[in-house]
C-alpha cells in the first residue's frame, strides 16, 4: 500500500525552491573548501616539504578515505532518518575539519584533517538527492538537479576567483593581535577563514521543512541483503552506469587539482592570475553546462524518452576529451584557457544527469543507499586515483618542470571516450529499470 505522501500534492514551488537554495549554499561551501586547497599547492609543498604525489594524496586518498567509506552507512541513515539533520551534521563536521586544516603543522596532521573534511562532506549528496526527489515532480527533476549540481561549480569557480586573490591578501595582511590567525602561515589562514560560514549554515539547515517521502511502500530500513539484491539484480545497467560516471569523475578531479599547477608551472601565472582566469571561466561555463543538461533532459523526458539522462550525459560529455586533452598542451596560457572553456562546459553535463537518472529509477526507500553506493564508486575511482595518477606521472614519467601538462592531457583525452562507451552500453538495461520502477 502506498503512503499518503505518494498521492499528496507536491510541495509548493516557493517551498521547494527555498529548500533547494539552502542545500545549494551548503554545496557551494563544500566545494569552496574542497577546491581552494588546489591554489595553495606551492606554499603547502614548501612549508611541509612534500612531493607532488603526496599532495595528490591529500586531495585524493585523504579526502576520499572517509568520503567513500562512510557513504553506505550514511546512505542507510538517509533512507530512514531526517535528512536535514544528516546534512546539518555533515556541514558542521566538514567546516570544523577545514578549520583544523589551517592548524596543521605537518603532512600527517593535514592528511588527518582532510580525512575529516571528507567524512563531513560524505553526507551532503545522498541526503540532498533524496530530498530534492521528494520536492520536485519527475518532469521537473532534471532542472532541479541541474540547479543543485551547478552550485558545485559555482563553489569551484568562486574558490578559484576569491581564493587566488585571498592567498596573496591573507598572506600579506597585518593581523597582529588576532587570536589564532597571527601565528599561522598565509595558506593556513585561508583554511580557517573558509571554515567559518559553514558553521553558521549548519544551524540554519535545521530550520528547513523535511519533505514527505513519496512512494514508499514500507516503513523502516530495507534489510542490507535486500538492498544488495536490488542492486545486483540490475547490474546490467548499474555496472556500465557507474563505470561511465566514475571515469567522468576521475578526469574531473584530476583537472580540478592540477590545472592551477599547470598554469603556475607551464605558463608562470601567479595564483591570483590563475584564480581570476580559470575561476571566471568556471563560473561562466560550468553552471551553463549543468543547466543546459537539465533543460535538454526535461525536454526529452516530456517526449517519453525514458533514458534521457544517460543520453544527454554520454553525447554531451565526449567533446571534453578533445578540448580537455589539447588545452594543457597549448603554448600559452591564454590559448589553454580558450580550450578549457568548452571542456568545462561539456564536462559539467554528466553530473546532474547521474543524480536524475538514479532518483528516477530507484524506489524511494532505497534512494539514499543507491545514491551513496554511486558516490562510493565514483569517488573511490575519481578522488582516489585522478589526482594521484597525474601527480605520479609528473614525478616519475614527465619529470620536467612543466611535466604535469602531459599527465593531465593524457587523463582527459582517455577518460571521455571510455565514459561515453560505458554510458551507451547502459541505455537498454536502464530503460528496463525505469519500466520496472514505473
CATH code assigned at 73? 1.20.1250.20
The three-state secondary structure class of 317 is: helix
Measured between alpha carbons, how far is 267 from 388 in angstroms, rounded to an integer?
22
CA-based torsion, 328, 331, 336, 338: positive or negative: negative
The three-state secondary structure class of 102 is: coil
Q: Which of 349, 134, 133, 388 is nearest to 250 (CA)?
A: 388
End-to-end alpha carbon distance in the chain? 15
In a domain, 2, yes or no: no
Q: What's residue 1's pLDDT?
A: 42
Measured between alpha carbons, how far is 211 from 213 in angstroms, rounded to an integer?
6
Are 73 and 373 contacting, i.e. CB atoms less than 8 angstroms apart? Answer: no
Backbone region of residue 284 per phi and psi (left: phi > 0; alpha: psi in -120 to 50; beta: other values): alpha
Cα separations (Å) of 368 from 174, 249, 376? 47, 20, 12
In a domain, 4, yes or no: no
Residue 1, number of CB atoms within 10 A of its CB: 6
Measured between alpha carbons, how far is 212 from 71 in angstroms, rounded to an integer?
23
The three-state secondary structure class of 106 is: coil
Question: Tell me, what DSSP letter sits at residue 221?
Answer: P
In a domain, 3, yes or no: no
**What value does the CA radius of gyration of the chain take, rounded to a whole number of Å?**
21
Assigned C-alpha cell, 322: 578533445
Backbone region of residue 173 per phi and psi (left: phi > 0; alpha: psi in -120 to 50; beta: other values): beta
Write out the residue range of the structural domain in which residue 367 sits.
Answer: 11-213+226-437
Label residue 302 exposed, middle or buried (CB < 10 Å: 0-12, 13-18, 19+).
exposed
Are 110 and 104 contacting, i.e. CB atoms less than 8 angstroms apart? Answer: yes
In a domain, 218, yes or no: no
Label residue 402 exposed, middle or buried (CB < 10 Å: 0-12, 13-18, 19+).
middle
Q: What is the dihedral of CA 223, 225, 226, 231, to 10 degrees?
A: 130
Looking up cell 562507451, which residue turns up? 421
Q: What's residue 16's pLDDT?
A: 94
Q: Which of 23, 4, 13 is nearest to 214 (CA)?
A: 4
Max CA distance (Å), the chain? 65
Per-residue exposure over 234-254, b if at least 16 CB sit within 10 Å of its own CB, e if not: beebbbbbbbbbbbbbbbbbb
In a domain, 220, yes or no: no
In a domain, 242, yes or no: yes
Q: What's residue 168's pLDDT?
A: 64
In a domain, 29, yes or no: yes
In a domain, 348, yes or no: yes
Please give the tally of structural domains in the chain.
1
pTM for this model (two decimals): 0.78
The tens place of each residue's pLDDT in the chain, 438 residues long, gives: 445 555 678 889 999 999 999 999 999 998 887 777 777 777 888 888 888 778 877 766 777 677 777 878 888 899 989 999 999 999 999 999 999 988 888 888 999 988 888 888 888 988 999 999 999 988 889 999 999 988 888 888 877 777 666 666 766 666 666 666 667 777 788 888 888 899 999 999 999 999 988 877 667 777 878 888 888 999 999 999 999 999 999 999 899 888 988 998 999 998 778 878 888 898 899 999 999 999 999 999 989 999 999 999 999 999 999 999 999 999 999 999 999 999 999 999 999 999 999 999 988 888 888 888 888 888 888 877 888 888 888 888 887 778 889 999 999 999 999 999 999 999 999 999 998 876
Label residue 35 exposed, middle or buried (CB < 10 Å: 0-12, 13-18, 19+).
buried
Q: Which of 57, 62, 36 is nearest to 260 (CA)?
A: 36
Looking up cell 503512503, which residue turns up? 3
Measured between alpha carbons, how far is 404 from 331 in angstroms, rounded to an integer?
14
Amino acid at each position: 500500500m502506498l503512503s499518503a505522501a505518494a498521492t499528496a500534492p507536491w510541495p509548493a514551488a516557493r517551498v521547494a525552491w527555498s529548500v533547494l537554495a539552502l542545500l545549494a549554499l551548503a554545496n557551494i561551501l563544500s566545494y569552496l573548501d574542497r577546491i581552494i586547497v588546489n591554489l595553495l599547492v606551492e606554499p603547502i609543498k614548501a612549508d611541509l616539504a612534500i612531493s607532488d604525489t603526496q599532495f595528490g594524496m591529500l586531495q585524493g586518498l585523504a579526502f576520499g578515505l572517509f568520503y567513500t567509506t562512510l557513504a553506505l552507512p550514511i546512505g542507510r541513515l538517509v533512507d530512514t532518518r531526517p535528512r536535514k539533520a544528516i546534512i546539518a551534521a555533515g556541514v558542521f563536521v566538514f567546516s570544523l575539519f577545514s578549520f583544523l586544516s589551517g592548524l596543521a603543522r605537518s603532512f600527517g596532521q593535514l592528511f588527518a584533517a582532510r580525512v575529516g573534511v571528507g567524512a563531513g562532506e560524505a553526507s551532503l549528496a545522498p541526503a540532498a538527492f533524496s530530498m530534492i526527489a521528494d520536492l520536485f515532480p519527475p518532469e521537473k527533476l532534471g532542472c532541479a538537479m541541474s540547479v543543485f549540481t551547478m552550485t558545485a561549480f559555482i563553489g569551484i569557480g568562486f574558490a578559484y576567483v576569491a581564493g587566488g586573490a585571498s592567498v596573496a591578501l591573507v598572506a600579506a595582511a597585518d593581523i597582529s593581535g588576532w587570536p589564532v590567525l597571527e601565528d599561522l602561515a598565509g595558506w593556513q589562514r585561508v583554511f580557517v577563514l573558509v571554515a567559518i560560514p559553514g558553521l553558521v549554515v549548519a544551524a540554519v539547515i535545521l530550520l528547513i521543512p523535511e519533505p514527505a517521502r513519496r512512494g514508499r511502500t514500507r516503513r523502516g530500513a530495507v534489510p542490507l541483503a535486500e538492498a544488495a539484491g536490488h542492486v545486483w539484480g540490475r547490474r546490467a545497467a548499474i555496472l556500465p552506469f557507474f563505470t561511465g560516471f566514475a571515469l567522468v569523475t576521475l578526469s574531473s578531479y584530476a583537472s580540478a587539482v592540477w590545472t592551477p599547477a599547470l598554469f603556475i608551472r607551464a605558463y608562470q601565472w601567479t595564483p591570483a592570475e590563475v584564480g581570476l582566469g580559470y575561476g571566471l571561466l568556471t563560473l561562466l561555463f560550468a553552471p551553463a553546462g549543468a543547466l543546459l543538461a537539465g533543460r535538454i533532459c526535461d525536454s526529452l523526458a516530456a517526449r517519453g524518452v525514458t533514458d534521457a539522462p544517460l543520453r544527454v550525459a554520454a553525447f554531451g560529455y565526449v567533446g571534453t576529451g578533445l578540448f580537455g586533452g589539447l588545452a594543457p598542451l597549448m603554448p600559452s596560457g591564454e590559448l589553454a584557457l580558450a580550450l578549457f572553456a568548452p571542456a568545462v562546459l561539456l564536462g559539467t553535463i554528466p553530473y546532474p544527469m547521474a543524480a536524475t537518472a538514479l532518483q528516477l529509477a530507484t524506489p524511494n526507500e532505497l534512494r539514499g543507499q543507491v545514491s551513496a553506493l554511486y558516490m562510493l564508486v565514483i569517488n573511490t575511482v575519481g578522488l582516489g586515483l585522478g589526482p594521484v595518477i597525474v601527480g605520479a606521472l609528473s614525478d616519475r614519467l614527465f619529470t620536467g618542470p612543466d611535466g604535469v601538462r602531459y599527465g593531465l592531457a593524457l587523463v582527459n583525452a582517455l577518460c571521455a571516450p571510455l565514459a561515453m562507451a560505458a554510458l551507451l552500453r547502459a541505455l537498454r538495461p536502464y530503460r528496463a529499470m525505469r519500466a520496472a520502477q514505473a
